[in-house]
Amino acid sequence: MPMLIGSNWVADAHSTFESINPATGQPNFLISAAGEAQVDQAVDAAWRAVRQPAWRDMLPHRRAALLRAIADGMDRNADTLARLQMIENGKVWRECQAQVASASATFRYYAGVCETLNAEVTPSRGNYLSMTQYEPYGVVAAITPWNSPMTMEAQKVAPALAAGNAVILKPSEVTSSPALELGRIALEAGLPPGILNVVTGLGAAAGKRLVEHPGVRMVSFTGGTASGRAIARAAADKLMPVALELGGKSPHIVFGDADQQAAIESVIGGIFEGSGQSCVAGSRLYVQRGIAQAFIEQLVARAAQLKIDLPDADGAQMGPIASFGHRDKIEGMVGTALAEGGEVLLGGRRPDAAALQAGAFYLPTILGGLGRDAHVVREEIFGPVLCVLPFDDEDDLVDQANDSAYGLAAGIWTADYRRAWRVARQLEAGSVWINTYKQLSIATPFGGFKQSGIGREKGLSGLRLYQQSKGIYWGM
């Protein structure tokens, strides 16, 4: 598959790599991998396009119309986009469909923001008019992971375009094809060539060059904390702003007075949806000691009923892990947990079904018997593995839940609204859910505390992320 640079589909790449269907082990596509030359071409194309009056001077309501045309194109091609994501990362079909719908809704949301967000006249202290205007950086890079490519890409590309930038999108090497399809849809919708470029390739080559390129003025990154740290270091050398959405190890908390059936369903969805490959996965379950035994027995029985199957099978609730290498990593981490005294309450191995043997499947897994210092309690697994830990009271809970390098999200189940408020305020997390989990709205800013990231995407501020303010003083 060629990459999109300006109006050209460029196959003449540094090298190529294969995309593999994790449900079957079969190859999908041969993808072009950008080296320095292709990244440099993309940055040149983006600067040429962003300086053209056709884009530079385009009025916000016209930019908004273009974003809506892209959303329409995504809706028309929804099945293609969903299928590309499904065969590359193995998410079940209905989840892929929901994510494409959410991605096109993100373009529509930022179309609305684009034509309604104001500049400001600020209080003057003399005989002048003072204003704050917001201007694009010029050329920005969006670097995305494989777990939810469409939604992550929309979350960056839509506000960056609404803000008036040209974008170079570098999708994950595991899931390159939905981004290429988005590039095609954007051109067809009438976006000027060069305003959205899609450069495919490896993080260590294409991604690294993009971040270090002097022509890239801002980077918006979603991915692992180690890659985020490397990008932040490179950005420090250039004194370039970065937005980092990184990993998590989110606590899902159940107090003794909670609606236990609702909590069980939520805990299961929170960790096993997408085979646990979600940055906000509720991977540490804290249950109040008085109800712990009965709650965990019911949870295990309910999770054992999950239908793990090929992603397009009827009623499939969990597909494969997105790659064979990532499944190896998950297996290794479960092995470490057992060596540290952990007990498998459910799963802990690959499924037996003959139809799943060729894919990278791993059963929903629940581990007990671990303390707060166990590796799997501290480190992100990014797979269908839940660690169960008891707690005594509110103080003990807050102490354990906050004892983590991460701070992306948390969930609280309780019938006591005062306690819900107290605990929500004390948890170190960018999103807190009370009597619900993984509820996300494009209108609400999203991001991490501590090592889960820097900056907030989504919402009105999600557009400002891609702009710099300019004070203008006008003598009267």
The correct pick among 101, 230, 313, 358 for binding ligand NAD (CB under 6 A) is 230
For residues 160 to 199, the per-residue mask of contacts with ligand NAD, x marking binding by CB under 6 A and - elsewhere, is ----------x-xx--------------------------
Q: Is 470 a catalytic residue?
A: no
Identity of the residue numbered 308: I
Query: According to the binding rule CB under 6 A, does residue 250 interact with ligand NAD?
Result: no
Q: Is 96 a catalytic residue?
A: no
Task: Name the residue among 234, 265, 224, 211 with its Cα closest to residue 413.
Answer: 265
Identity of the residue numbered 113: V
Q: Is 387 a catalytic residue?
A: no
The nearer residue to ligand NAD, 219 or 296, going by C-beta atoms, is 219
User: Near ligand NAD by CB under 6 A, which window of 14-22, 47-55, 246-254, 383-391?
Assistant: 246-254
The correct pick among 453, 455, 459, 462 for binding ligand NAD (CB under 6 A) is 453
The correct pick among 207, 270, 274, 407 for binding ligand NAD (CB under 6 A) is 207
The nearer residue to ligand NAD, 77 or 227, going by C-beta atoms, is 227
Query: According to the binding rule CB under 6 A, does residue 147 interact with ligand NAD?
Result: yes
Query: According to the binding rule CB under 6 A, does residue 22 interact with ligand NAD?
Result: no
Query: According to the binding rule CB under 6 A, does residue 279 interact with ligand NAD?
Result: yes
Give the nearest distance from C-beta 458 to ligand NAD in angstroms.
10
Q: Which distant-in-sequence residues (6+ apart) come within 8 Å of 472 by Cβ?
A: 130, 131, 132, 133
The nearer residue to ligand NAD, 419 or 450, going by C-beta atoms, is 450
CB 253 within 8 A of CB 422: no
Q: Is 156 a catalytic residue?
A: yes
CB 13 within 8 A of CB 3: yes
Task: Name the residue among 471, 474, 472, 464 with its Cα closest to residue 163.
Answer: 464
Given the residues 173, 245, 380, 428, the one annotated as active site:
245
The nearer residue to ligand NAD, 320 or 448, going by C-beta atoms, is 448
Chain residues that interact with ligand NAD, rule: CB under 6 A: 143-147, 170, 172-173, 202-203, 207-208, 211, 222-224, 227, 230-231, 245-248, 279, 380, 382, 408, 448, 453
Q: Which residues are catalytic?
A: 156, 245, 279, 457
